[in-house]
Chains A and B, each alone.
Chain A
Amino acid sequence: MKLAEEYRDGHLAGALAARIAHEVNPAVRYHFMEFCGGHTHAISRYGIEDLLPANVRMIHGPGCPVCVLPVGRIDAAIRLAERPEVTLCIYGDLMRVPGSHGNSLLKAKAAGADIRMVYSTLDALRIAAAEPERQIVFFAIGFETTTPPTALAVKLAAAKKLANFTIFCNHVLTPSAMQSILESPDELGRVRLDGFVGPAHVSTVIGSRPYAFVADEYKKPIVIAGFEPLDVMQAILMLVRQVNEGRHEVENQYTRAVKSEGNEKAKADMAEIFELRESFEWRGLGHVPYSGLRLKEAYAAFDAERRFAMEDIPAEDNPACECGAILRGVKRPADCKLFGTVCTPETPMGSCMVSAEGACAAHWTYGRFRDRARAAS
């Protein structure tokens, strides 16, 4: 069974689109936030917007761990990589993220820092074992999907007694971020949200239960959706139905991969290795309580922040950057003065343009032709 192609079928897309068009209440405007950057990417890449009726609007959320990494953390990583004894291992996504003064890991690499792109934490471990004279630091980012791989790497490093392996931990948590969006004080601007398209792969790890607060306390429907475009459209149909029927429940569209309890073993490893930070800064969202992870005391030996006495030097985003408002869905990319002029994928100013699935990057790369059409009409 080809599990990806079937879920990209254009014929079925048309049918779902027709179904959604039939079921929406023409007098109602539906605003759904797809939290996860992967969903933002799918919506843009497959042009799903074109298949939705005009009164259904998708708002792009902050679920892109690269986008929400604060400038100061990138600067810190660059400083770390510039130490002659350090080999910094990173996922490809981090290469071009802008730090302060237009610097980036790519530029630091060009200037001579030993920065190596890896596919997996296991590659970083392999390098540490093969090059005992180097200090290997793994730049750990990602939501709950990407955290168990880091946990396992730390466990393996401990088992193998690797003295030259540490991680720079920037793992963040999804439910806290969702809560921050829903709690957003009025002065920062809040957009009316009628429901969430819930993350696909974070949910394979944490399950569907952690989203109960969205439905119970904030009374918003949330449908966990798979990654493929048909999954997203089916989830939108399910959201429309919940709104029409006045329900607010946690529903699971991605039943082939998500169980209500998630992956117990992965959750156990995360709990064993990591603990909550009281607060963690998110680019565009400010400080969010209990939203970030750090290594427990028992694993302090693998913590780069401790081993290298890394300083926390906060840095500012460009004041004209509207990422904060865009990440909360209050503004659209085209509303930002920097969009497309100073701020492009080549010269990203803020988090939304940085990663391929940030709202601004997705819009620029796949959808800005619609702005021109709108302007012309």
Chain B
Amino acid sequence: MCLAIPGRVASISGDDPIMRVGRIDFGGIVKEINLAYVPEARVGDYVLVHVGFALTLIDEAEAERVYEQLNEIAAIEAAQREAAL
């Protein structure tokens, strides 16, 4: 449904809160994105962007944790496969 992708805040400008704008780096592509809905965003943070607006900060610690969880599942599966052989 709603295509939103993560990007890193490279720079921020604008004083008026609803016109606060960031240059967001999406893996090398940089685009100006409105930051009105993420007033807590700082340079270096990751935000989720949809139609030119950042909708939320991405919790990097959570991203890592979930990714580790998936790796653990993979490790368990591999171990079970080994045991079965």
Contacts and interface: CB of A to CB of B under 8 A. Distances in A.
Q: Please tell me whether chains A and B touch each other in their complex, using a CB distance cut-off of 8 A.
A: yes
Given A38-B3, A145-B4, A256-B66, A119 B51 contact: yes
Interface residues of A, number: 58
Nearest to A204: B56
Residue among B1, B6, B19, B55 facing the most chain A CB atoms (10 A cut-off) = B1
B58 A3 contact: yes
B30 interface: no
Interface in B24-82: 27, 34, 36-37, 39, 46, 48, 50-53, 55-56, 58-60, 62-67, 69-71, 73-74, 76-78, 80-81
Nearest to B75: A15
Given A3-B6, A65-B1, A200-B2, A257 B50 contact: no
Interface of B: 1-6, 18-19, 27, 34, 36-37, 39, 46, 48, 50-53, 55-56, 58-60, 62-67, 69-71, 73-74, 76-78, 80-81
Contact of A146 (B2, B19, B59, B65): B2
A263 B65 CA distance: 22
Given A1-B64, A6-B67, A12-B70, A123 B52 contact: yes
A15 B1 contact: no
A21 B59 CA distance: 30
Interface in A273-290: none
A64 B60 contact: no
B22 to A, nearest CB: 13
B34 A16 contact: no
A15 B48 contact: no
Contacts of A204: 4, 48, 55-56
Interface string A7-29: 10101101110110010000000
A121 B2 contact: no
Nearest to A227: B4
Nearest to B21: A122
B29 to A, nearest CB: 12
A11 B69 CA distance: 14
Given A19-B77, A91-B51, A258-B56, 7 more contacts: A1-B64, A12-B70, A120-B34, A201-B2, A201-B4, A202-B1, A255-B62
Given A2-B27, A3-B6, A266-B37, A149 B52 contact: yes
B53 A120 contact: yes
A118 B79 CA distance: 51
Nearest to A7: B67
Contacts of A152: 18, 34, 36-37, 53
